[in-house]
Structure 1
Amino acid sequence: MGIQLEGMTELVRQLERLGAKAEQVKKDALQAGAKVVQQAASEKAPKDTGKLAENIVISDINEDGTVDIGPDPDRFYGRFLEFGTSKMAARPFLQPAFEENINEVQQKMAQVIRRGLGL
């Protein structure tokens, strides 16, 4: 599932030109945006036992400069809930968490970038 934020590609390109400081700012911005989605996904996750909601994690930054947000590996059934199965309807919580909070994600990331670059 790939989601692209408009304008972020150019911003990331400009950050990369700033070198090591920009790399840390980029990491901090990704983490800040991811935390917004993580919180929303935890709130939206089905609460049958509560374990899924408590175990929504953010990955380390991937080689392509992205992060993954979702259930920890021990909560593999979260994928079944998100996408459904041949015998169970989907009960999405990750995609809606992102879509409903896209503006806040962008605001948080922009705020971290401005602060990190002293703007």
Structure 2
Amino acid sequence: MARRGSYANVSKLRKTLRRIEPELRKEVEDEVEHAAQVVQADAIKLAPKDTGNLASQISYKVARDGLTAKIGFRGKKANRQAFYARFIEFGTKKTAPRLFKKGARKGKTKRGHSGLPARPFLQPALQNNFHYITRRLDGAVESTLRKVTRRAK
């Protein structure tokens, strides 16, 4: 599930925000954490609930700099218990029946698989909250930059 979202000029903004004093950056860091919590909650809501295992393994982690967050299946335990999440999120392709070429089952048919349709839950969780998150982050960034410019004068 290691897909990274990237938006225009985000790396430039992160570099600028890293140079700002930590106490001034706090508002942006809080908004990043809040955004991660919102997306995590929505992903849990949207995840298929056959056993509930998939939803229980969704977590988030905010980076050390406080300016990025990763939401998904984090850590060995989550990857081991919910390894099938990628099959649900992206689906699987159809495989045709084949013949065994060697061994005791030579000449016998190996069963095919009809494939699974994608049932995304992580991407829609981000897309559903995208405007809400960007509005709040924009406000926090503007507020932080206003504070910095006031201090610089």
TM-score normalized by the length of structure 1:
0.74
Q: Which structure shows the bigger proportion of residues in strand conformation? A: 2
Secondary structure of the corresponding residue to residue 100 of structure 1: helix
Q: Which has the larger radius of gyration?
A: 2
Contact persistence 1:45–1:93 (CA under 8 A)? yes
- More contact order relative to length (CA 8 Å, sep ≥ 6): 1
Change (3 A) 1:97 1:90: same
What amino acid does structure 1 have at the position aligned with 2:37? Answer: K
1:106 Cα deviation from its structure 2 partner: 1.8
**What does residue 75 of structure 1 align with?**
82
**Cα displacement (A) at 1:44:** 0.6
Conserved 8 A contact 2:25-2:144:
no
Unaligned stretches of 5+ residues in structure 2: 94-114, 148-153
| 1:54-73 per-position Cα deviation (integer Å, ceiling 9, x unaligned) | 2211135278x643211332
How many angstroms apart in 2 are the aligned matches of 1:116 and 1:47? Answer: 40
1:109 alignment partner in structure 2: 137
Q: CA deviation at 1:25?
A: 5.0
CA distance in structure 2 between the aligned counterparts of 1:25 and 1:76, rounded to whole angstroms? 35
The residue type paired with residue 107 of structure 1 is: R
Question: Once the two structures are aligned, what percentage of the paired residues are identical?
Answer: 33
Gaps of 5+ in 1: none
1:19 corresponds to which residue?
A: 21
CA, structure 1 residues 118+50, in 2 after alignment: closer, same or farther (shift >3 Å)? farther
Q: Give the TM-score, by structure 2 length.
A: 0.60
